[in-house]
Amino acid sequence: MSNSYVLVINSGSSSLKFAIIDSVSGDAIVSGLGECFGLPEATISWKFNGEKTQEAIEAQGNHHQHAIKRLVTLIESLGFTNDIVAVGHRVVHGGEKFTSTVKIDNQVLTEIERLSDLAPLHNPAGAKGIEAAIEAFPNLPQFAVFDTAFHQTMPTKAFTAGIDKDLYTEYGIRRYGFHGTSHFYVSRQAAKILDIPVEKSGFITVHLGNGASVCAVQNGKSKDTSMGFTPLAGLMMGTRSGDIDPGILEFLMKKGWSQDQVFDMLNKKSGFLGVSHITSDARGILEAMEQGHEDAKLAFEVFTYRVAKYIASYLIPLTSLDAIVFTGGIGENSNIIREEILNNLSLLGFVVDSEGNDKARFGNEGIIARSELLGAVAMVVPTNEELVIARECVERL
């Protein structure tokens, strides 16, 4: 019997991540990355059987297409051609149109392109990857899995912005939320680990990576989330500001900043990088803090304080709480950041279990704190967005 492998593709504007996932075991058989697209030094690299290979990509033309063509020959040379049953694409924005995974046809592709209006940095790249993959794998069904879809269950009061309602009807301005695949996965895993039915569970899922967001998940459904109309909203992140007073934008523009300068600052020069002036990387912040760097310490404090404030406010959409669930590169690995966040939540009764917190790192799940007051725990669940994408595809074959 052949295997049930899914080729998972995540196309960015200058990169393309890919993985061949065994949808049964969840193992990544091959994982790789095409990067520096649009530049002469564009490369593609992959890991198979623990061995890493890197190659240059043809300098001219469409790099998404070149990378995906190389994937076809790679898959052939590894002997997996007959094992791959579908291609799953991560697509950032599904607007209000896509509330779950869909099989891609011309109409779906046109709609994803149309939604570029809402996600100009992401959806055009997603569409490029899909077009190239359809050309390269014409006989395989292809599916789009949207980052926004899981949050389409948010009630109107949670997604409505406190501005002129015509801006919603005219332009679709509202909270959409992102990281949906991750919040979906860790809420299901947390219910499994705690041995409670997901349809009777309450979680605050906290995805802390380069991008970061919090989600209130009641009975398996997203009720509110901290990213908004764009992924810029909510928590402070690696280079993104998260929420700021919109009055700051007007102030800076009146000082002569252009629109591009303001948004470049908010998206690429803020967060850990902006506050510390050293790095956008949490590990770098922790190292600098250990060496006594004052602004690294400030970045750590602003970040952890903000996350804790969000967690506390995400009790509001819930009717019960079983666990606060940490995930993402920072959430899965940094016992120090998690401890500081939980210390900020001591009024909610959370007491950190130091041993549990130290153990739940580098891919290990586990309980890291308990609150007698709320009858809830804090835990770590490593996320696996590729596996969700693979399973979503296989379920729809």
Q: CA angle 160-302-177, nearest 5°?
A: 25
- Evaluate whether 40 touches 59 at the Cβ level (below 8 Å): yes
Phi-psi region for residue 36, left (φ > 0), alpha (ψ -120 to 50) or beta? left
- Token pair belonging to 102: 């869909």
Report how far residue 351's alpha carbon sits from residue 27's, in angstroms, rounded to the nearest whole number: 34
Angle subtended by helix axes 123-136 and 106-114, to nearest 10:
160
Q: Is 10 annotated as a binding residue?
A: yes
Sequence-distant (6+) residues with CB within 8 A of 252 are: 261, 262, 265
Stretch that binds ligand AMP, among 40-48, 55-63, 280-288, 307-315 (CB under 6 A): 280-288
Rounded to 5 degrees, what are φ and ψ at 370?
A: -135, 150
User: Does 208 count as an annotated binding residue?
Assistant: yes
Q: Identify whether the C-beta of residue 147 lies closer than 8 Å to the C-beta of residue 231.
A: no
Could you say which of 88, 180, 238, 242 contacts ligand AMP (CB under 6 A)?
238
Contact of 141 with 158, CB cutoff 8 Å: no
Q: Which of 34, 94, 95, 209 binds ligand AMP (CB under 6 A)?
A: 209
Task: Work out how close the CB of 325 gets to ligand AMP at its nearest, in angstroms, rounded to a whole number.
Answer: 14
Using CB under 6 A, pick the residue from 132, 190, 282, 389 that binds ligand AMP: 282
Q: Is the CB of 209 or the CB of 274 nearer to ligand AMP?
A: 209
Report DSSP state, residue 296: H
Figure out which of the listed residues 88, 126, 202, 328 binds ligand AMP, where binding follows CB under 6 A. 328
333 in a known ligand binding site: yes
Report the residue from 283, 355, 358, 373 that binds ligand AMP according to the rule CB under 6 A. 283
Annotated catalytic residue within 22, 27, 147, 245: 147
116 interacts with ligand AMP by CB under 6 A: no
* Cα 384 to Cα 390: distance, rounded to the nearest angstrom: 10
Stretch that binds ligand AMP, among 98-106, 129-137, 163-171, 326-334 (CB under 6 A): 326-334
Q: What is the enclosing helix (H) or strand (E) of 240?
A: none
Is 147 among the residues known to form the active site?
yes
Here's the x/- map for ligand AMP, 154-193, by CB under 6 A: it reads as ----------------------------------------
Compute the distance between CA of residue 188 and CA of residue 262 in angstroms, rounded to an integer: 39
Nearest residue to 322 via CA among 377, 373, 380, 369? 377
The packing angle between helices 282-290 and 294-313, to 10°, is 130
> CB under 6 A: which stretch of 30-38, 58-66, 329-337, 369-377 binds ligand AMP?
329-337
Q: Select from 5-13, 251-259, 276-284, 352-360 the region that touches ligand AMP (CB under 6 A).
A: 276-284
281 binds ligand AMP (CB under 6 A): yes
CA atoms lying within 13 Å on the CB side of residue 185: 24
**Residue 78 assigned ligand-binding role:** no
Closest Cα partner for 224 from 145, 310, 309? 310
Consult the annotation and say whether 375 binds a ligand: no
Instruction: Tell me the closest approach of the beta carbon of residue 8 to ligand AMP, in angstroms.
Output: 16
Q: Which of 329, 352, 376, 378 binds ligand AMP (CB under 6 A)?
A: 329
Backbone angles phi and psi of 204, in degrees to 5 = -110, 110
Q: Is 330 in the site for ligand AMP (CB under 6 A)?
A: yes
Stretch that binds ligand AMP, among 115-123, 138-146, 214-222, 328-336 (CB under 6 A): 328-336
282 is in an annotated binding site: yes
Examine residue 296 and tell whether it contacts ligand AMP (CB under 6 A): no
- Known binding-site residues for substrate equal 90
Q: Which residues bind ligand AMP (CB under 6 A)?
A: 209-210, 238, 281-283, 286, 328-330, 333-334
- Known binding-site residues equal 10, 17, 90, 207-211, 281-283, 329-333, 385
Which residues are part of the catalytic machinery?
147
